[in-house]
Every structure is written in structure tokens, then in C-alpha cells.
């Protein structure tokens, strides 16, 4: 089997590369390193079946030979990153998705789109099932990502309906684990690095907003099952255990055994007030549910985060 992963040098992409190499696939990792890092796949570079290709999929995407699976994960994914790169974000969801779908069709490969819980926006239905159409501000600062992913979902379904392409859509809820960028602004690396540096935790707003956090290994297992499922409608993959951000701040301090306190900062515009996946579909169709609790996942990620804090404080670059 040969599997191409766009955004393969990103946080989730690199875990997928690792998983498919472990499963015996040849893996082509395509990335332009805008927010990904070559370091994320350095441990795979000596594997016989692994190939890294520096390429911007918004410009073009080609491959010699056969291809069985194409997983489209290229896109800045943290609010800080996609607001810093708004045009690139829209381009990769529009042109990048088009180029990826075209290549999948040429090769007769199964196409899997990395979509997101952000398609539900600031949801008025809670928890969110796949049948909920969302509450998205089409022109707000998050819209480049939210509408980009909604457009990419629409295009994926259009190729499925028009060309009969084998397609999958995974709606990924907040996920964390080793190889997350320490400084991408997301709440897990933000709070963990603040605790490790002895700084107060920056809780945005009153901390009453909720999120549900999935450990990366659980997510990867869900994606592999979806890829192999033959199911073309969107599937939520995430952990349904919901935390307030204030509660998460307490948990991080308890897990690391370091009490630093919190400071409140303004809530970013359009920040969703609640988020929790309804995973009934994943349970029924994929026989999947997450296994790793937030506390356990934070412990599994602790060494990585400690090493990253030392590396960055020692003068190491935060990116490639």
C-alpha cells in the first residue's frame, strides 16, 4: 500500500506518517513547512518506505507511480496560525483540496479530508452530531479556517457524487499530544508550557467555555478505521469528556504537581462557548471510542513538553 499525507510534517500528519509506516505502507509526506517541521518526521527519514517531499499543495501536487490512499491534512490548524496565515489557509482548503482530489482520482486512491469541529462554529446544538449544520460567522477572524474547511467538505462531496471517488471526511475535535508546537497558542501547549515555566495560566474570558480533548493516538486509530470503512459521510472523531477551560487549568496544575495560579485575558472574537462531539456515529460505524483520559494523555505528553521547553529556552528554533 502507498499512502500520501499532505501536511505530513505537522502535528497530526507526522503521527499518521508514523502509524502508516508501522502498518507497512510506503508513505509520501508532502509539506511546505509553513507551520510543520522537518523535525516532526526526522525519526522516520531512515525508514525504507518513507519519503519527504517539500511542496506547496496549493500550487500543485504530482506523484509518479501508484497510490492507494491520499490523506489531506495540510493547513495551519491553530487559531493563532490560521489568523497569521489567513490567505494561505483559504488557498490550501480551496486549491490544495482541489489538487489533492484530482491526484486521488487520477490514481484511483481513497481520499480522506481532515475537517474539523470548527465547521459547527459557535454551536447552538450541544453536543454536536454530524447532522448539525453549524453556526459560523462567515467574515469573522476564524472564518478563513471554518469556511475553508466547510468549502473543502463541500468539494469532497462534489467529487464523490460527480466522479464516484472514494472519499472520507473526518471532523477532528481538539486533539493534543507529543509534537504539538509549544508556541502555537493552543490551550494545551500554552497551559503546559506555562506550568513548566512557573508562569500563571492565561485563561481567556471567565474560563467557563468548554472543550473536549482527545489524545493523538486515539485520534489516529479513529482515522485509520474511517479510511478503511467505505463510509463517505462526515464522522466526528474526538473525546466526549467535556471540561471548562478553568477546570482544565486546575487539572494541568494537578497533573504536573505545580501550582502557578491563573490570570484572565480577554476572550478572542467568535471563540466557541461550548464544544463536545457526539460520537454515536463513530461508535456505530467504526466501533471506535477514545481510550485515553485527559489526565493520562497529559502524563504521556509530559516528557515531550519538558524537552521542548528546555530546547526552546536553550535557544532552539520553534519551527523547522
Of 26, 23, 29, 22, the closest CA to residue 12 belongs to: 29
140 touches ligand UDP (CB under 6 A): no
Cβ neighbours around 205 below 10 Å, total: 15
Q: Which is nearer to ligand UDP, 109 or 123 (CB)?
A: 123
Task: Give the Cα-Cα-Cα angle 201, 203, 205 (nearest 5 degrees).
Answer: 160
Q: Single out the segment in contact with ligand UDP by CB under 6 A; choices: 1-9, 23-31, 58-66, 183-191.
A: 183-191
Q: How far is the CB of 119 from ligand UDP (least distance, A)?
A: 12
Residues 143 and 82: beta-carbon distance below 8 Å: no
Q: Which is nearer to ligand UDP, 14 or 174 (CB)?
A: 174
Q: How far is the CB of 203 from ligand UDP (least distance, A)?
A: 5
Q: Assign 227 to helix, strand or coil.
A: helix
Beta-bridged to residue 283, according to DSSP, are none
Q: How far is the CB of 152 from ligand UDP (least distance, A)?
A: 17
Beta-bridged to residue 175, according to DSSP, are 214
DSSP state of 282: I
Q: Which of 72, 186, 276, 281 binds ligand UDP (CB under 6 A)?
A: 186
Q: Assign 315 to helix, strand or coil.
A: coil
Q: How far is the CB of 64 from ligand UDP (least distance, A)?
A: 37
Residues 188 and 245: beta-carbon distance below 8 Å: no
Q: Which is nearer to ligand UDP, 76 or 222 (CB)?
A: 76
Q: Which of 47, 51, 183, 271 binds ligand UDP (CB under 6 A)?
A: 271
Interface residues toward ligand UDP, by CB under 6 A: 78-79, 174, 185-187, 190, 202-204, 209, 211, 245, 267-268, 271
Amino acid at each position: 500500500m502507498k499512502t500520501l499525507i499532505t501536511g505530513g510534517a505537522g502535528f497530526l500528519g507526522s503521527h499518521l506518517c508514523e502509524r502508516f509506516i508501522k502498518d507497512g505502507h510506503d508513505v509520501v509526506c508532502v509539506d511546505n513547512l509553513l507551520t510543520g517541521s522537518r523535525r516532526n518526521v526526522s525519526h522516520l527519514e531512515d525508514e525504507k518506505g518513507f519519503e519527504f517531499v517539500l511542496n506547496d499543495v496549493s500550487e500543485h501536487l504530482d506523484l509518479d507511480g501508484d497510490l492507494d490512499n491520499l490523506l489531506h491534512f495540510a493547513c495551519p490548524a491553530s487559531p493563532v496560525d490560521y489568523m497569521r496565515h489567513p490567505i494561505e489557509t483559504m488557498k490550501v482548503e480551496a486549491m490544495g483540496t482541489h489538487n489533492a482530489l484530482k491526484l486521488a482520482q487520477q490514481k484511483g486512491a481513497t481520499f480522506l479530508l481532515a475537517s474539523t469541529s470548527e465547521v459547527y462554529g459557535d454551536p447552538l446544538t450541544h453536543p454536536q452530531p454530524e447532522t448539525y449544520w453549524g453556526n459560523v460567522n462567515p467574515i469573522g477572524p476564524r472564518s478563513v479556517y471554518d469556511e475553508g474547511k466547510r468549502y473543502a467538505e463541500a468539494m469532497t462531496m462534489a467529487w464523490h457524487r460527480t466522479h464516484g471517488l472514494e472519499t472520507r471526511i473526518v471532523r477532528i475535535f481538539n486533539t493534543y499530544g507529543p509534537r504539538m508546537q509549544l508556541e502555537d497558542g493552543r490551550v494545551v501547549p500554552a497551559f503546559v508550557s506555562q506550568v513548566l515555566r512557573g508562569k500563571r495560566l492565561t485563561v481567556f474570558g471567565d474560563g467557563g467555555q468548554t472543550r473536549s480533548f482527545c489524545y493523538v493516538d486515539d485520534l489516529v486509530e479513529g482515522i485509520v478505521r474511517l479510511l478503511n470503512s467505505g463510509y463517505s459521510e462526515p464522522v466526528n472523531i474526538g473525546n466526549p469528556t467535556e471540561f471548562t477551560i478553568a477546570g482544565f487549568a486546575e487539572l494541568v496544575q494537578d497533573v504536573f504537581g505545580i501550582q502557578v495560579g491563573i490570570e484572565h485575558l480577554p476572550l478572542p472574537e467568535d471563540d466557541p462557548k461550548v464544544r463536545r462531539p457526539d460520537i454515536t456515529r463513530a461508535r456505530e460505524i467504526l466501533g471506535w471510542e477514545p481510550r485515553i483520559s485527559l489526565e493520562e494523555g497529559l502524563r504521556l505528553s509530559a516528557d515531550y513538553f519538558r524537552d521542548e521547553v528546555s530546547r526552546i529556552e536553550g535557544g532552539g528554533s520553534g519551527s523547522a
